[in-house]
A and B are shown apart, each in its own frame.
Chain A
């Protein structure tokens, strides 16, 4: 299988402009600026079927087309806040092939008339941020960024902004609020970022991996791109982050629609311990509903996972074997969301802590018969009632764990200890 997004990463000094150019880097930018109109570029991305790789899977070209065609300054924001537990794919691009991201940013900026990209990167990614800064300096020096790029008359500046370690700042509106120098609070929608985003200007926020796809769509065309992937509307190459009880955890590239079991057993080398069978998989980062082992014969793409009630999310595939206590696992997840809730709106602020405390009590042997129903109810009362998706992200895993592994919770309540 041909690797696309990760074609450079094993090369010596893959992060340098020299190596990137030698592999055909910035040719897409050169070509687009010379021969494609912004509209044509947007159309090509629309036709490619590229869907956002940050989690929601929204069609990228369509998102770009929401940008108004007026005289206000427009911004592209690259979401490099990769904070969803179990997710470590954007980091590979930023560390190993930063110019791919930059070329994607500049092309995307060209498509929507944005003269500025802000790359908002999580504070923990110190090395990624340094690599990006170095790459940006190289790109400016060679005329790929800045004023009058490659003599085309198109200007585009890129800035790296390092976050301060809050999960919520990966939510696009909180990210913008943080970028503006304020406390990272999500904003009410509407208005949507394309109408009123960064500094009240039209803004599009795209994930690192999403933007890294754009140079290839320009290079080889939408038809080629569409041919990658198993299911219609689920196209292109995809980075999967495999972690948990497997022999070879890591980031793997495969065409969209890679069967989950193929990822676990072939790319991941199988279960970590041969005598401990698969129990559950969280397929898309810690915020998506968990799958029981018998549900795992599924392709990893947006629509296949949605069909069985979960999500591709950030493609953070977390594998759990038979030694995993599901109460302990969801307690850890619930702690994360309680800790990362920004506290702005009531259901998430109060509900995430409540769920975590109930789960802790169950695991610690203080569970009550009504606790499972209580957890489901509290999760229900959070979901859909919050300002931003963090509430849903906290509620969905709790609901799915309690629903799908209720026997384990019941055992904890009845016996005041774990069944595994």
Chain B
């Protein structure tokens, strides 16, 4: 393994490591625009020029492989001068529209201009005037003037999605990113080009001009759009001055074991689903009439307890509920003496070979671990149709109103009491005379398990004005009202601790071991099996 000295510190790195990566591995960022760890090396921005002893010229850190004994300086006068000159070159034709640019605040051009640029410009010629708002795809707008031609977006479309919609057109300073004639940037991952654009050239239609990024509260979380469980950062704007906030965007968060650097457009925009249907604001009984929480919980508890006592209670749960919710419901059902529970399966489209899964149940695997594979929505509905259920509890989908279970007329006519717990007035909620509001995705902490059995942690990013509770707490309230034995859960970590003791796949898991990147559940067969 070669040893390289970077700014006086000798480090040992793997063969083939680049100077830029070697520096980064020790927490030292060599400034760069075109380099992206998920894409091929382009070497075009020239921002990462560093001084290598015995090399006649400065070399670009992103494309220079370390050799044993190499001595690299990343902060020498020569290097700083080169960086300052690159910043000057980048800025001569760059528009001064930071005040209305969505990238402002998280713009590498701004950051490096502060760090390495000169406060004044020597450029007095007219700047190039180019197109400012080119509609290149379903979700993406292009500003030709802001583009610094790093080619990340082009490489993304060629190397990651293989769709190749983007290219350079013209040459020299007239060179522009553009879309091939007759094409649109409509691949299912198009939003990633906005994430990787180091400047404000590519913006997301659903985010542009909606919020200044410095007003966003960013929360590391996990996408609940499908069973992949891509790692994301959820940005919420607290524009109500009441700490509730409103979701504004989702961007990709790197996790090499799950999604790499990317997320799909559906996941990126999944937050919009939360605003796609009316929220259930308070407990309601009868439907449409606000009711006291405790009284409504008592009503639900009584209904369930009586039906369960006669073995005539059923429940349908969303596969997007957290493991903690699902486990609390299971404990409640057990304590009530038997509720026939089934988990919905939400499937749309097909698996692709990048990230998208047809199974939209973000926690379908966790539900399977907790309830077993046989606990299906279909079997519960079959019991309902056969007249075997007096009470049916539906726990709705926390992300998408349209994915909440629906009950057809046949089921509705055969079940005496439909009880609903969920965030939205949608699906089965419309048929339910008794409703309890529940926290939606991004409004509570909890774990979900992706299709590969990786346990990951969702984090609360916003609140709501609704009188809602996390699902596990509602289950606890109902247990309390029903007077059945139930653990005293006060935080999702406590539910997870109980789950870890009870369900083999969660053994030894807690919020710390899950961390920011998740941890594989215990799926290995027991010894000797």
A contacts, CB < 8 Å to B: 166, 168, 183, 188, 338-347, 349-354, 357-358, 361, 368, 374, 377, 381, 384-387
Q: Hey, which chain B residues are within 8 Å of A342, CB to CB? A: 171-172, 175
Contacts A353-B172, A353-B173; A345 near B85 (Cβ below 8 A): no
Query: Is B30 an interface residue when CB atoms closer than 8 A count as contact?
Result: no
Residues 50-81 of chain B: 1 if any A CB is under 8 Å from the residue's CB, otherwise 0?
00000001101001000000000000000000
Within the complex, what minimum Cβ distance (angstroms) separates B526 from chain A?
Answer: 50
Assess whether B172 is in contact with A339, with CB atoms less than 8 Å apart: yes
Contact pick for B58, options A345, A353, A357, A384, CB 8 Å: A384
Contact pick for A344, options B44, B88, B170, CB 8 Å: B44
| A40 to B208 alpha-carbon distance, docked (Å) | 67
Contacts A350-B89, A354-B123, A354-B125; A386 near B46 (Cβ below 8 A): yes
Residues 101-145 of chain B: 1 if any A CB is under 8 Å from the residue's CB, otherwise 0?
000000000000000000000111110000000000000000000
Assess whether A188 is in contact with B122, with CB atoms less than 8 Å apart: no
Contacts A350-B173, A353-B173; A385 near B82 (Cβ below 8 A): yes
Q: Hey, which chain A residues are within 8 Å of B88, CB to CB? A: 381
Contact pick for B92, options A183, A354, A361, CB 8 Å: A354
Within the complex, what minimum Cβ distance (angstroms) separates B87 from chain A?
Answer: 10
Contacts A183-B167, A188-B63; A343 near B174 (Cβ below 8 A): yes
Closest B-chain residue to A358, C-beta based? B125
Query: Is B43 an interface residue when CB atoms closer than 8 A count as contact?
Result: yes
| A32 to B468 alpha-carbon distance, docked (Å) | 90
Q: Given A343-B171, A352-B173, A385-B86, 16 more contacts at CB 8 Å?
A: A183-B167, A188-B60, A188-B63, A341-B171, A346-B89, A346-B149, A347-B46, A347-B85, A353-B93, A353-B173, A354-B89, A358-B125, A368-B124, A377-B122, A381-B85, A385-B49
Assess whether B171 is in contact with A361, with CB atoms less than 8 Å apart: no
Within the complex, what minimum Cβ distance (angstroms) separates B96 from chain A?
Answer: 16
Within the complex, what minimum Cβ distance (angstroms) separates A46 from chain B?
Answer: 25
| A23 to B124 alpha-carbon distance, docked (Å) | 62
Q: Hey, which chain B residues are within 8 Å of A341, CB to CB? A: 171-173
| A384 to B175 alpha-carbon distance, docked (Å) | 22
Closest A-chain residue to B63, C-beta based? A188
Q: Hey, which chain B residues are within 8 Å of A345, CB to CB? A: 43-46
Within the complex, what minimum Cβ distance (angstroms) separates B174 from chain A?
Answer: 7
Closest A-chain residue to B82, C-beta based? A385
Query: Is B451 an interface residue when CB atoms closer than 8 A count as contact?
Result: no
Question: Chain B, interface size: which category?
Answer: 20 to 34
Assess whether A166 is in contact with B171, with CB atoms less than 8 Å apart: yes
Assess whether B167 is in contact with A385, with CB atoms less than 8 Å apart: no
| A318 to B493 alpha-carbon distance, docked (Å) | 81
Assess whether A346 is in contact with B41, with CB atoms less than 8 Å apart: no
Assess whether A343 is in contact with B168, with CB atoms less than 8 Å apart: yes
Name the residue among A340, A344, A357, A386 with the largest chain B CB count within 10 angstroms. A344
| A251 to B57 alpha-carbon distance, docked (Å) | 36
28 contacts between A and B (CB under 8 A): A183-B167, A188-B43, A188-B63, A339-B172, A341-B173, A342-B175, A343-B149, A343-B168, A344-B175, A345-B45, A345-B46, A346-B44, A346-B89, A346-B90, A346-B149, A347-B46, A347-B85, A347-B89, A349-B175, A350-B90, A350-B173, A352-B173, A353-B93, A384-B58, A385-B49, A385-B57, A385-B85, A387-B43
Contact pick for A349, options B43, B122, B126, B172, CB 8 Å: B172
Assess whether A351 is in contact with B171, with CB atoms less than 8 Å apart: no
Assess whether A349 is in contact with B149, with CB atoms less than 8 Å apart: yes
| A154 to B47 alpha-carbon distance, docked (Å) | 48
Query: Is B148 an interface residue when CB atoms closer than 8 A count as contact?
Result: yes
| A386 to B46 alpha-carbon distance, docked (Å) | 7
Closest B-chain residue to A352, C-beta based? B172
Name the residue among A338, A357, A385, A387 with the largest chain B CB count within 10 angstroms. A385
Q: Hey, which chain A residues are within 8 Å of B149, CB to CB? A: 343-344, 346, 349
Cβ-closest 7 pairs across A and B: A343-B175, A381-B85, A350-B89, A341-B172, A353-B173, A357-B125, A188-B43
| A381 to B86 alpha-carbon distance, docked (Å) | 8
Within the complex, what minimum Cβ distance (angstroms) separates A331 from chain B?
Answer: 14
